[in-house]
Amino acid sequence: MKKQKKTAVIIGATGNLGRATCKTLKKAGFEIDPVWQSKDHPDATDPESYKNLPKKIDFAAYLAGVNVIEDTQNLSKQDWDRVIATNLTGVFLFAKAAFPALKAAKHSTFVAVSSMNVFHPYPGRVAYTASKAGIEGVIRSLAVEWAKYGIATHGLRLGHLEGLMKTTKMGPILLEAVKKQTPSHRLINPSEVAKYLVWVAEGGSQSISGSIIDFDPAYAINRYPI
């Protein structure tokens, strides 16, 4: 009897981390929902976008995100709403819509990505930091609420990837400064995160449900002055 492939849905599949994650999951034998891999993918902030999810989801990951860099006193409500909608409300909408399919898979995993900015904030990123802190609350809450259905949840408090987010306007000078502050003098390759997510997807999350892992090569904790 042919073994049925596990199904994954990756929101934010067209970004650097999303593409790496889809590629690695496919190598591991997962079938990826093609809807979110398209350049014309649905709007992650629209509840209607999640109406046609697969009937069974073994691994669901919300990797979508935007950032606005602006001093708080100058930040518009429109930009605040856009960041919160994409980074946090989208996680809620996806989790709510995916629940029946995650439950149907028996032993499934829901993942969302936070940021080291939650505990290592940069100036001008109040909306981004608030949205990521909210994600951590969602992950912990769902771990307690969904455990009885066989659904584990997991979060990554992600450090600096190689390459800035599309919505981050600061140039490579920031990444060079981060490299100097990082003990290993290297940034995170998206493929390394993807490999970890596959481990989570293949069952690793069942023992660490509700955890928020610092995926960061000690940059955020390095205080050595020289």
In a domain, 223, yes or no: no
In a domain, 224, yes or no: no
In a domain, 99, yes or no: yes
Residue 1's pLDDT is 46
* pLDDT tens column, 66-79: 999 999 999 999 99
In a domain, 225, yes or no: no
Residue 128's pLDDT is 97
**Residue where the block lists tokens 């979110």:** 36
Residue 84's pLDDT is 98
In a domain, 226, yes or no: no
* Stretches in the chain below the pLDDT threshold 70: 1-3, 163-171
In a domain, 222, yes or no: no
Quick check: 140 and 154 in contact, CB under 8 A? Answer: no
In a domain, 193, yes or no: yes
Print the domain residue range for 74.
Answer: 6-215
Number of structural domains (the chain) is: 1
Query: DSSP labels for the chain?
Result: -PPPPEEEEEETTTSHHHHHHHHHHHHTTEEEPGGGGSTTPPPTT-GGGGTT--S--SEEEE---------GGG--HHHHHHHHIIIIIHHHHHHHHHHHHHHHTSSEEEEEEEEGGGTSPPTT-HHHHHHHHHHHHHHHHHHHHHGGGTEEEEEEEE--BSS--TT----HHHHHHHHHHSTTS--B-HHHHHHHHHHHHTTGGGGSTTEEEEESSSTTT-----
User: Looking at residue 28, which CATH number applies to its domain?
Assistant: 3.40.50.720
For the packed helices 16-27 and 190-201, what is the interaxial angle rounded to 10 degrees?
Answer: 50
Residue 17's pLDDT is 95
pTM of the model: 0.94
